[in-house]
Chains A and B, each alone.
Chain A
Amino acid sequence: MSRSDDEADDRQLRDDELGDRERIVEVRDVTVRFENQDVLHRIDLSIERGQTLAIIGESGCGKTVLMKTIVGLIRPTSGSVVFNGRDLGKISRAELTRTRRDIGFVFQNAALFDSMTIFDNVAFPIFQHESVGDDEIAARVMEKLSEVGLPSEVASKYPAELSGGMRKRVGLARALILQPQLVVYDEPTTGLDPIMSDVINELILATRRSYPVTSVIVTHDMRTARKVANRVVMLYPRRRLDPGQSQQLFDGPPSDLDNAEDRRVRQFVRGEAGERIDELMRQTAAISQSWNADSDSESEQAEHG
């Protein structure tokens, strides 16, 4: 190996070391396949510490799968996910459990435990990861509930007794109770009225202001993406792409979305169906044709058989 090669390798190593410190998450060449179909195909994505990243895209493009892969809920078919310099696929189960302390997850429908009170739901991560006294747990739970704008009376209620917006805020309180380094939001404003959606957006911003958290928000609500994120990545369904085309159509600040080079990004941002209506009509016609052909052939077989 020549001297220049060595120097290049050293430089690469230094860059990598620096990068590992600055990047909290690295998705490296990740493919996720379900039943012979690639939902994610060779995705590369680095998320810097303190960044708020919005992942947008139409339904079925794999954004939720990408988010679940980032937090280790889905194991990639190939490639790796590195969190804080550790490959989630290579660490032991005990290490993965410890790593989860640093990740908060806000589910689309909150995913609160029905059988527990709101207090127990919010305190759950503390019970799992820390050994602290009951008084401290109570103080932290009440503080977190107040931070998300919920009165202390809700603590003794069950999830079924709360409205959708309140449940979402309890989910947020539960995800933030351990002050994780990374918080992942799955469609945080879906199903909420515009006012409550804005409340959630403000809470996400308030969390970022209170401590240097990294956030990943999966959404197709463009108001949330524009208001909260400082970086947007748009994914496109793999089945609608030619082989070799990248699934990541856009990666940049939200202000560039309207002037994106790719027509599909501009269409998505403006909410225009465009040629998709013709495409759907063609698909429907092809399926009906196929069914008719099947029923004709069965009738022929019945007549001859």
Chain B
Amino acid sequence: MAGVTYRDDASADNPRPGKLSHWVTDWGGIVIDAVSTVGDIALFTYQMFAWMFTRRPARGTILPNFYQVGVLSLPVVALTGTFIGMVLAVQSYRQFQIIGLENRLGAVINSSLVRELGPVLAATMLAGRVGGAIAAVLGTMRVTEQIEALTTMGADPIHYLVVPRFLACILLIPALTIMADFMGIVGGYFYSVVVLGIDHAAYLQNSADHVSGFDLFSGLLKSFFFGGIIAIVSCYRGFHCEPGAEGVGSAATAAFVMSFVLILGVDLALNILLDSFYYTVWSPEKSP
């Protein structure tokens, strides 16, 4: 039959490739896909920023997204924060008691909460709740041609769908992080003072001595980046969703996994940068 090449026709001319060749082909494919995805995400982010700074968000898109990201995430973030604070108290108490420093529990709980665990765990929780939802909604819109429908009616999908979600994430995820920090502080205080019986004044004094404004600043700065990562990765995955229910599920899963890995990677990079900045600018005598 003309115009159709069957698999056995092709393999008749070409020798069967060996295992090494398969291995090289597979890894080559993975590397090409990874590089192309990074390029795609960079272009997607550029287009999003270009729209964000050239035109106001579309009518009626801001409030629903802010409600979805901010208001609906509040209970789960507050609960997460409370448990983080209490778990820190449980985990640290025995170790500090052995060396007789249990009164210093406030310092370790609150500084690690404000600087590291509050922002990272709140972002992880939001990558699942907000990021997964964004990828699933946009993925469904892609599969059901709603994104193409926007284009045919003269609305740019990146301007209409991505910009409001990005703004909601970068503005409200830091706000939610403050909530997680606050609830963590309350939870840690409650477990340490009320349940474990640590002296109330010593707990507060140690907290005040060891938690600085810079700790709070660095935690909030991280949460801006985490918000941006969650928005861009989730929107990108939703926009590039494969057809079918499985495609939407994969987009939501990939959005969470990719956001989570990037959050941890960016957290490490920001910790190194902020530490260097802090020791260089404010405390040169403490620099190692």
Interface segment out of the listed A147-155, A224-232, A238-246: A238-246
> Do A105 and B2 contact each other (CB < 8 Å), given the known contacts A114-B146, A289-B8?
no
Query: Quick one: which of B6, B59, B153, B154 has the most chain A CB within 10 A?
Result: B153
Query: Quick one: which of B7, B11, B59, B64 has the most chain A CB within 10 A?
Result: B7
Q: Using a Cβ–Cβ cut-off of 8 Å, how many residues does chain A contribute to the interface with B?
A: 39
B194 within 8 A of A: no
Question: Which of B2, B149, B156 contacts A113, CB < 8 Å?
Answer: B149
Q: Are A100 and B2 in contact (CB under 8 A)?
A: no
> Can you report 5 A-B residue pairs in the complex whose CB atoms are below 8 A from each other?
A115-B64, A240-B3, A242-B2, A279-B1, A290-B11
As a 0/1 sequence over residues 94 to 130 of chain A, the CB contacts with chain B under 8 angstroms (1 = contact) are: 0001101101110111011111000000001101110
Query: B interface vs A, CB < 8 Å?
Result: 1-4, 6-8, 11, 16, 59, 64, 140-141, 144-146, 148-149, 151-156
Chain B residues near A286 (CB-CB < 8 A)? 6-8
Looking at chain B's contact residues, is the secondary structure mostly helix, strand, loop, or mixed? loop
| A105 and B11 alpha carbons, distance in the complex (Å) | 45
Known contacts A73-B152, A124-B155, A282-B1; 4 additional CB pairs below 8 A are: A71-B152, A103-B152, A113-B141, A286-B7
Q: Are A125 and B154 in contact (CB under 8 A)?
A: yes
> Do A101 and B4 contact each other (CB < 8 Å), given the known contacts A107-B145, A107-B149, A290-B11?
no
Question: Which of A93, A107, A128, A239 contacts B148, CB < 8 Å?
Answer: A107
Residue of A with least CB distance to B4: A239
> Do A241 and B3 contact each other (CB < 8 Å), given the known contacts A103-B152, A107-B149?
yes
Q: Are B6 and A290 in contact (CB under 8 A)?
A: yes
| A243 and B5 alpha carbons, distance in the complex (Å) | 13
Question: Which of A68, A97, A111, A290 contacts B7, CB < 8 Å?
Answer: A290
Q: Are A111 and B6 in contact (CB under 8 A)?
A: no
Chain A residues near B8 (CB-CB < 8 A)? 286, 289-290, 293
Within A22-68, which residues are at the interface with B (CB < 8 Å)?
Answer: 68
> Do A240 and B153 contact each other (CB < 8 Å), given the known contacts A109-B144, A111-B145?
no
Question: Which of B1, B16, B148 contacts A111, CB < 8 Å?
Answer: B148
Chain A residues near B3 (CB-CB < 8 A)? 239-243
Number of residue pairs spanning A and B whose beta carbons lie under 8 angstroms apart: 77
Q: Are B144 and A111 in contact (CB under 8 A)?
A: yes
Question: Which of B6, B154, B156 contacts A283, CB < 8 Å?
Answer: B6
Question: Which of A100, A241, A242, A243 contacts B152, CB < 8 Å?
Answer: A100
Q: Are A73 and B151 in contact (CB under 8 A)?
A: yes
Chain B residues near A125 (CB-CB < 8 A)? 153-154
A297 within 8 A of B: yes
Give the distance to chain A from B209, nearest Cβ to Cβ, in Å.
Answer: 50
A192 within 8 A of B: no
Question: Which of B140, B153, B156 contacts A124, CB < 8 Å?
Answer: B153
> Do A240 and B6 contact each other (CB < 8 Å), given the known contacts A71-B152, A73-B152, A297-B16?
no
Question: Which of A115, A283, A297 contacts B4, CB < 8 Å?
Answer: A283
Residue of B with least CB distance to A74: B148
| A111 and B155 alpha carbons, distance in the complex (Å) | 14
| A115 and B145 alpha carbons, distance in the complex (Å) | 14
Give the distance to chain B from A273, nearest Cβ to Cβ, in Å.
Answer: 15
Q: Are A105 and B144 in contact (CB under 8 A)?
A: no
Chain B residues near A8 (CB-CB < 8 A)? none
Residue of B with least CB distance to A293: B8
| A115 and B133 alpha carbons, distance in the complex (Å) | 14
A162 within 8 A of B: no
Chain B residues near A105 (CB-CB < 8 A)? 149, 152-153
A206 within 8 A of B: no
Within A253-305, which residues are at the interface with B (CB < 8 Å)?
Answer: 279, 282-283, 286-287, 289-290, 293, 297
Question: Which of A73, A101, A239, A282 contacts B154, CB < 8 Å?
Answer: A101
Chain A residues near B155 (CB-CB < 8 A)? 124, 128
